[in-house]
Structures are given as structure tokens and as C-alpha cells.
Amino acid sequence: MMDFIVPLAYLVATALFIFALHWMNDPKTARHGVYAGVAAMVIGIVATWLEPEVVHHLWIVVGMAAGVALGIPLSRVPLTAVPQRTALSHAFGGAAAGLVGVAYYYLWWGHNPGHLTTFRTTALITENILGFMTFTGSLMAAGKLQEVKWIPQRPVTYKGQNVVNISLLVAAVAIGIWVIVHPTTALAAKLFPVVIGLALLFGVLLIIPIGGADMPTVIAILNSYAGLSAAALGFVVDNKLLVTAGALDGSSGLILAIIMCKAMNRSFANVLFGAFGQVQQAKQLEEGKTYKPETIEGAAQVMEQASTVVIVPGYGMAVAQAQHKVRELYDQLKKRGITVKFAIHPVAGRMPGHMNVLLAEADVPYTDLVESSDINADMPQCDVALVVGANDVVNPAARYDKTSPIYGMPIIDADKAHTVFAIKRSKNPGFAGIDNELYFADKTWMLFGDAKKVIGDLVKQLSDQGGIH
């Protein structure tokens, strides 16, 4: 009976997972996707639990209860902390797949070596390398995003770094191949943990040279690896539900990573091994270029007289938690009949879609969030561009300066607006360490200070004048 029910349950769960992702194509239907996903998960868990081989229940209940106890607080983090929560969940996904793989290897090695076929052992080794490197890599990424003290935020690079990293991976794969060829020997059982150890170390070293600006791509790649490790586990244990769910997660991460790379005009290899944010330190701006500061009153006056305002948010908005103040500014301008749009660059923030979620949290209608490629044509007609904590994504050097590390990256053409206001915390260069000449342009006026405070002051200024019109 269960021989029939379990595969059927897994088939239904697979179909529901596909529908869940399908419904994500529109914000209107997206929540159905969550319900379908939950239903699929419940079906899969119940069907497995009812299998006759499952005879001990207490430990399962304890493991699940502990997962619920940690999962609930993790789902309530502030939305600015979503990138690190996501990185952490990739770490958990990689670890879960890895641990089950380890358990099966030793189970079969000790009790049923006939199971360790070349195919299964290959899947096991693949799964373990992927799972465990995702585990430490994602922990490192989460630590960097959370700004944990003992994890350096700035990229850490040293001479021969790529050689070290690649040798480590080659060593792990080579030892893995030996295990695949001789899976049932005593030595294989000793080498198996060595492969895991190398994978863990590789994960750490892979993420150390990554800077904040590359986090959206790296998180997407780790997402893909976590999914692929789950799929590989499916190969190990002949579980098609795992293979499909893992493949869906893997392809999702892959597509997001491709979108992020395209948005920066860079390749995977360049992101992983390029150590962005180091090289450009050398380039200094020519002397004589100075920022032109503007007062809140002056900026408010110009904005009031505009007919179109485009707001360009960046990571600085997230850091300052300024999204709610930005919404108030949006309201003030809308009240005056001014058209207000948000120009969202795909890599703005620390993970794909980061800005959209923050602005949605602040209750900005998503119809006013415009993809950068769609808004650029309208930028020359735009009266005011307000840059809130964005930097590289509005740097005009990307268009023509071949020596710039961001050369070729599609940007938001904020510099084509009639007037540009840029809010900046300090006079230091942005996260990637690149000076932005937009800030020195004739039409640009700087508003120095914390984004939340500056926007708050603008709102106050505008609401005080509200009665004039």
C-alpha cells in the first residue's frame, strides 16, 4: 500500500512546488505560491513519516520542534536583515543535505557496501563537496552581512589567492575521485572526512575576498549550490522529490545569479575570483573637484517645483532604515501632483530584489517601482533625481571610463535628470571604494547626513509649506 501512496504523494508535492513558483510571476497571485509550497511540504513529510521503516518518532519530533523554535524568530527579523537570514538558510540547507549524505555513506560502508555503486558514490561526493562548502561559505556571507566583528567586511585578498583556492578544490575532487573508485575500502572511510574538511575550508576561503557590492550575486550562487546539493542527495537515495525540488532551487539560484551578473556586466568567474573593491583604490579623483552642498530648504524648494521626481534607492537606504521616511517624502510630493517613481537597479542592496521588499514594507505601491532599464529612456525628461544611498549604480563612469572597474555596467542614468540631489553619509567613496563623478557634476547638489535624517528633514520642510499651495 505505501509503495503506491508514497510515490503518489511525492508526485503531488512536486506538482505543487512547480505551481508555487509559477504563481510567483505576479505579486497578485504570489501568496498562493506559499500555500501550495506549504501543502506540498506537509504531504511530503506525512507520507515519509508513515513509511513502515520509520519506527522511532521521538527524535523526529524533537528535531522538528527545535527547527520550529529557531525558524519562527528567524522569520521575524527586520527586512533590512533579510540578506543575512537568506545566507544563513543556505548554510542550513547545505548542512542538512551534507549530513544526510555522510550518514548514508557510513551506513552503507558498514552494513551494505553493495550500495556504494560508482553512480551513488559520485553523487555522494558531489553532494558533500557542494553541501559543506555552501555551509561555511554561506555562514561567512551571513557574517559579513551581519557585520560580525571577527569577519572582515572589506574583501581580504593576498597573493596567489586564486591558486590556493583552486588547488584546494582540485585536492578535494581528486581525493573524492579516489573514494569513488575504491568506495568500500578502509582508507576510503578515512578519506571521506578529508573531502568534507577541504570543502568546509574551500567555502570559507571562497567568500573571504568577496565585497559587499558582490553579495547579491554570491548569495544567488550559494542558493544554487544549496539546491544542487539537495538534488544530488536525491540521486544518492533515489528520491525524485528531492531531485525535482533541488533542481528547481538550483535553477532559481542560477537565473538570479545570471541576472545579477548581467546587471553588473561581469562573469561568474570574475565575481568569485575577481576580488572586486580592491583594485580601484588606486584611482584618485583629480584635484579641484569639490562637492557642492545644498541645504534642506533649497532642495525642498526645487523638488516642489518639479513635475517628475525619480528616487534612486541603494544600500545606504537599507543601512539607515530610511524606507519609511522615503515613503513620507513620496506622499508629500504626490500630494502636490508630482509624478514620483523609484528607479530600482537589480544589484542595489545586498541581495536580489532587496530594495523592492524594503519599499513594499514602507507601503509604496509596487506599480511605482520601476526597473532601471525601463526608466532610463525617461530620465532626460525627469526634473529631479534623488539618490538615496546608492553609489555605483548611478556612476556615469560605467558608460565611458574604460579604466573604471565598473566599466560596462548598465546604470541608472541619474545624471541625465535636470537636477540631481544625492544623499550621502560622508565624503568617503562608496562600498566598492570607487569615487563617483556624478557627485561632482554641475547639476548635482549634495545633501550630507544620515539618509533617514535628511529625508525626514525634507519631509518636515515640505509639510510645513504644505499650506501655501
Applying the rule CB under 8 A, the residues between 438 and 457 that interact with other proteins are none
Q: What is the footprint of other proteins within residues 64-103 (CB under 8 A)?
A: 64, 66-68, 70-72, 74-77, 79, 82, 85-86, 89-90, 92-93, 95-97, 99-100, 102-103
Alpha-carbon distance 260 to 204, whole Å?
A: 22
Q: What is the footprint of other proteins within residues 2-41 (CB under 8 A)?
A: 3, 13-14, 17-18, 20-22, 24-27, 30-31, 33-34, 37-38, 40-41
Between residues 341 and 424, which has the closer beta carbon with respect to other proteins?
341
Q: CB 401 → other proteins: shortest distance, Å?
A: 28
**Which of the ranges 187-195, 363-371, 397-405, 452-460 carries the binding residues for other proteins, by CB under 8 A?**
363-371
Between residues 3 and 286, which has the closer beta carbon with respect to other proteins?
3
Q: CB 293 → other proteins: shortest distance, Å?
A: 34
Inter-CA distances, 44 with 28, 65, 192, 202, Å: 27, 18, 30, 33
Q: CB 95 → other proteins: shortest distance, Å?
A: 5
Count CB neighbours of 263 within 10 A. Answer: 22
Residue 422, classed as helix, strand or coil, is strand
Between residues 19 and 439, which has the closer beta carbon with respect to other proteins?
19
Q: x/- binding map, residues 369-388, to other proteins, per CB under 8 A?
A: x-x-----------------
Between residues 45 and 191, which has the closer beta carbon with respect to other proteins?
45
DSSP code for 394:
G
Q: What is the footprint of other proteins within residues 97-136 (CB under 8 A)?
A: 97, 99-100, 102-104, 106-108, 110-115, 117, 119-120
Q: What is the footprint of other proteins within residues 383-442 (CB under 8 A)?
A: none
- Residue 186 contacts other proteins per CB under 8 A: no
Interacting residues of 325 by C-beta distance below 8 A, sequence separation 6+? 451, 452, 455, 456, 459
Residue from 352, 405, 429, 433 in contact with other proteins (CB under 8 A): 352
Q: CB 123 → other proteins: shortest distance, Å?
A: 9
Residue from 125, 145, 198, 351 in contact with other proteins (CB under 8 A): 351
401 is catalytic: no
Residue from 136, 244, 332, 461 in contact with other proteins (CB under 8 A): 244
Residue from 121, 165, 308, 356 in contact with other proteins (CB under 8 A): 356
The cell numbers describing 436, all together, are 563617483
Nearest-CA neighbor of 435 among 406, 410, 415?
406
**Residue type at 60?**
I
CA torsion through residues 75, 79, 85, 90, sign: positive
**Residue type at 129?**
I
How open is the CA angle 94-115-250, to the nearest 5 degrees?
A: 25
Catalytic residue chosen out of the listed positions 26, 214, 368, 392: 392
Between residues 193 and 293, which has the closer beta carbon with respect to other proteins?
193
Between residues 96 and 279, which has the closer beta carbon with respect to other proteins?
96
Between residues 156 and 259, which has the closer beta carbon with respect to other proteins?
259
Residue from 154, 187, 366, 464 in contact with other proteins (CB under 8 A): 366
Q: CB 56 → other proteins: shortest distance, Å?
A: 5
The alpha-helical segments, DSSP class H, found in 56-117 are 58-75, 82-111
DSSP code for 420:
E
Residue from 129, 145, 205, 220 in contact with other proteins (CB under 8 A): 220
Interacting residues of 362 by C-beta distance below 8 A, sequence separation 6+? 323, 324, 326, 327
Inter-CA distances, 164 with 157, 177, 205, 327, Å: 11, 20, 9, 48
Residue 283, classed as helix, strand or coil, is coil
Nearest-CA neighbor of 294 among 282, 303, 285, 286?
303
CA torsion through residues 257, 262, 265, 268, sign: positive
Q: What is the footprint of other proteins within residues 154-183 (CB under 8 A)?
A: none
Count CB neighbours of 221 within 10 A. Answer: 25
Residue from 132, 192, 235, 445 in contact with other proteins (CB under 8 A): 235
Q: Which residues of 283-303 are buried (b: 16+ CB within 10 A; e: fewer)?
A: eeeeeeeeeeebebeebbebb
Alpha-carbon distance 131 to 255, whole Å?
A: 20
Q: CB 265 → other proteins: shortest distance, Å?
A: 18
Between residues 250 and 429, which has the closer beta carbon with respect to other proteins?
250
Q: What is the footprint of other proteins within residues 249-268 (CB under 8 A)?
A: 249-256, 259
Q: CB 190 → other proteins: shortest distance, Å?
A: 16
For other proteins (CB under 8 A), the number of binding residues is 120
Residue 320, judged by CB atoms within 10 A of its CB (0-12, 13-18, 19+), counts as buried
Between residues 172 and 245, which has the closer beta carbon with respect to other proteins?
245
Catalytic positions, written as ranges: 392
